[in-house]
Amino acid sequence: MEPTTKTFNTAASRALADVRLQQAHEVVYNGFHRARIAAAADTDEWEAQRTLGKAIKDHTIANLDYYLEMLADNVEKNGGNVYFASDGEDANSYVRKLAAQNDVQTVIKSKSMVSEEMGLNHVLETDGIEVVETDLGEYIIQLAGESPYHIIAPAIHKTKEQVADLLAEESNTARQETAEQLTRQAREMLREVFQRADMSVTGANFAVAETGSIVLVTNEGNGRMATSMPRIHVAAMGMEKLIPSVADLSAMLRILIRSATGQRISCYVTMVNGPRAHDEEDGPEEFHLIIMNNGRDRLLRDESLREALNCIRCGACMNACPVYRKVGGHSYGWVYPGPIGSIVSPVFTGLKEGHKLPAASSLCGACHEACPVKINIPRMLLELRSQTAQGDPDPAQRASGFGERMTWKAWRQGMMSRRRFDAGSTVGKIVTSPLKRDGWLTKAPPPVSGWTASRDFPAPAPKSFGKLFAERTKAVKDD
């Protein structure tokens, strides 16, 4: 997927003016966010589970090289294949080759954010292969030609009427009305595809290093179809998505699912330990695991940002975020929206492209509070703001301009001396006096016009506090 993080401001303004989207955001908040809080309250030792989850992820990421080798060895021991992909293009070329070798006509997808990073659908379609998303939300999005709005609820912004049009047009059958009828219609359409698909591409909610397993969490059952019907199963994962042991799964699944939808457990959790056994009746003959880097090593390298790799992609930070709930998922301009997206996207695209994302936060801390593995997102947003101003040693990647940096340098000098501060405030009073209306500055000229476009600034007082203080102290003394 081509990132469009640069246009955050215009995309956000558009979303803010869209009444339908604002209603969808309410659903995210009232549905998922409240359900998560209730589920947490209902779980024994919730805090202990979070602490354990964080410890497991910290340990895994600190030993990522060790555990990835273990995972790869065990997948191969189980009869599967492993491919390490440096980026999306590398991963795509592996899938293309595999499809060509096996004369694959139809690929079914079961929700995979990594394949969104890869832009896999487009690439396979170019090769003349039919690609069908099978998560209902993703299917709707695919028919609409859009990208997912939310990592858990990709089509939350679509109305029933829009869905009805899309399904009727695609299937050439009667237009349905209720959510129930539309779901039945999609069931029939997708069952037909399941039966002729040669290959499936899924994500992996977790990979288990010690056993070479992957785990899929779904409510719909498409993850199970994808691991039962086609001859070849390909799972694509980001290189951080692993945990050491099967015994870790109970805590990890609890915090993932309860944070994502507030359910105690999703309808289906599917563990895959490789291709089917030789005497099994169904299941894929081949299993391939793609482990993708795609810029994740930049997070690993930077110790102040490494924690972002603990993310288990539950979406809780988005649901909790007051900014996400207004600007919506598409404004963020890449695969992962919301608070965690504001960290991973700018690191992926470079700060010059993505620096607006870490700035679009009130630092209220709701994401940190909601995160099941306690990722300190606000701390990292501040870190990225600081890197935006000065951190990147490559000046071409520095997002702040020369003028801006000089302004802040001058500000710092001014604030460090009483004399310069007083002189500065006198100059400020003189400069702003023509703009003063009833004690407020309501319309400033560029480059600060942006500030007064949506709010007023109090005009400097006729006499500064410093001056008044000096005068009154003198008056008291004179008495």
User: Interface residues for another protein in 197-236 (CB under 8 A)?
Assistant: 210-211, 213, 219-222, 224-225, 227-229
Task: For another protein, give the closer residue by CB, 42 or 404.
Answer: 42
State yes or no: residue 186 binds another protein (CB under 8 A). yes
Tell me which residue of 247, 268, 264, 267 sits closest to 256, measured CA to CA. Answer: 264
> Interacting stretch for another protein, rule CB under 8 A, among 183-191, 332-340, 363-371, 403-411?
183-191
State yes or no: residue 250 binds another protein (CB under 8 A). yes
Q: Which of 245, 417, 426, 473 binds another protein (CB under 8 A)?
A: 245
Q: How far is the CB of 321 from another protein (least distance, A)?
A: 18
State yes or no: residue 253 binds another protein (CB under 8 A). yes
Q: Report residue 375 as tokens.
A: 């990722």
State yes or no: residue 183 binds another protein (CB under 8 A). yes
Q: What are phi and psi of 467, to 5 degrees?
A: -65, -50
Tell me which residue of 51, 25, 42 sits closest to 252, measured CA to CA. Answer: 51
Q: Which of 137, 333, 341, 346 binds another protein (CB under 8 A)?
A: 137
State yes or no: residue 82 binds another protein (CB under 8 A). yes
Q: Are 107 and 124 in contact (CB under 8 A)?
A: yes
User: Interface residues for another protein in 336-395 (CB under 8 A)?
Assistant: none
State yes or no: residue 59 binds another protein (CB under 8 A). yes
> Interacting stretch for another protein, rule CB under 8 A, among 125-133, 156-164, 329-337, 383-391?
156-164
State yes or no: residue 254 binds another protein (CB under 8 A). yes
Tell me which residue of 426, 436, 431 sits closest to 457, measured CA to CA. Answer: 436
User: Interface residues for another protein in 302-321 (CB under 8 A)?
Assistant: none
State yes or no: residue 46 binds another protein (CB under 8 A). no
Write the DSSP symbol of residue 261: T
> Interacting stretch for another protein, rule CB under 8 A, among 62-70, 360-368, 376-384, 457-465?
62-70
> Interacting stretch for another protein, rule CB under 8 A, among 240-248, 344-352, 395-403, 430-438?
240-248
Q: How far is the CB of 448 from another protein (least distance, A)?
A: 41
Tell me which residue of 349, 328, 434 sits closest to 399, measured CA to CA. Answer: 349
Q: How many angstroms separate the first and last alpha carbons of the chain?
A: 75
Alpha helix segments (H runs only) across 261-323: 296-301, 316-320
For the chain, the helix, strand and coil percentages under 3-state DSSP, each to the nearest 5: 55, 10, 30
Q: Are 208 and 171 in contact (CB under 8 A)?
A: no
Q: Which of 293, 294, 361, 387 binds another protein (CB under 8 A)?
A: 293
Q: How far is the CB of 30 from another protein (least distance, A)?
A: 9
Phi-psi region of 313 (alpha: psi -120 to 50; beta: other; left: phi over 0): left
Written as one letter, the residue type at 195 is: Q
